Amino acid sequence: MKKLLFALAAVLLLTVPARALEVSAPSALLMEKETGTVLFAKNEHDRLEPASVTKVMTILLTMEAIDAGTLHYDDVVTASAHACSMGGSQIWLKENEQMTVSDLLKAVCVVSANDCAVALAEQLAGSEDAFVERMNRRAQELGMKDTVFKNATGLPAAGHVTSAYDIALMSRELILNHPDIRQYTTIWMDTLRQGASSLVNTNKLIRFFDGATGLKTGSTGSALYCLSGTAERDGMELIAVIMKAPTSAQRFEDAKALLSHGFSTYSLVSAAPDGALPPVPVTLGAQATVQPVAGAKSILLEKSRAAGLEKTITLAESVSAPVAKGDPLGTLTVSSGGETLAEIPLTAGEDVPRLTWGALALEYLRAAFLGA
């Protein structure tokens, strides 16, 4: 059943062209968050150094722990000598200095603090090496086939590589399932240590691009200038990944070009039925009907095709028990001007077991008694 849903969902993704403009960076990608549709791709699987864009995974694992309740924003972390030795972008943590998870996360998101990233890694896994194992395991779970992490920061290390496509995957996972991260990634200026330490976001999109929501910059001498930039307008959030841009200014210009193209060309349209779906009768079920639900929340369309949409619902007249949650019950067809744009599965929203022999006998007795 899951394979069927994925196949039908693919219909929504394959209708969108993936190449419609050019950027100067050697590797780039534009993805829509809700559907995961790739709207633009250029050498998206080239394995390149990501620099501090690596920290998207560090942030993701931190947010997953927070949302799971194993880590808390107000937990106090004590900085180790190893964390304080990182160099590069940092807030100059001192050994044994204590700081909350919230403040460490703020420093990572806003100024790409390497010392804070390692402090969080050690808090979560006991050591940076153990945390890196988690990073690579999570990357595999997300389908990041071009990625090998060697540290939690993105500081230069032999074999530490990823791709624009993989960065988009982990960025999507972060912003789709952990939206609270915006409280940090949308900060332009702030302070730490009771105002003693000033922070200014390395991501210039936050101030200069309408709707910017994050996410992470990165640069080293060998990686050059990288970015995972996110922005939301009219309920649609996009992820623009730029790798190995020659200058900092150029990575932001390329990202703005991708994001602007996405927002001007595409719309995220509700795939929900216009009214309540009627229940489908269940033969020999423990309950008389099963409620169908739509298998997708939204579809992504070119704006020129998003006007005048028509939705047609086809449902089974009845189904036989047992019914499992997710079983197919019908199709919602979205069309415009007679052209089918998407076919969305309508599936059972609950399990309906088959009547037991005892219950079936009771039903026959009740029917016979009432009919007498």
Backbone angles phi, psi at 132, to 5 degrees: -60, -35
Task: Provide the annotated active-site residues.
Answer: 52, 55, 112
Backbone angles phi, psi at 117, to 5 degrees: -60, -45
Beta strands in the chain (DSSP E): 27-32, 38-42, 76-78, 98-100, 189-192, 197-200, 212-220, 224-233, 236-245, 266-270, 280-283, 289-290, 292-294, 298-302, 310-315, 319-320, 328-336, 339-348
Distance of CA 124 to the CA centre of its chain: 22
Listing DSSP states for 161-210 in one string gives BB-HHHHHHHHHHHHHH-GGGHHHHT-SEEEETTTTEEEE-S-THHHHST
DSSP annotation of 74: T
Residue 146 identity (one-letter amino acid): D
Which residue, chain included where needed, has tokens 């988009």?
A: 168
Give me 81's structure tokens: 């000598």
Distance of CA 274 to the CA centre of its chain: 27
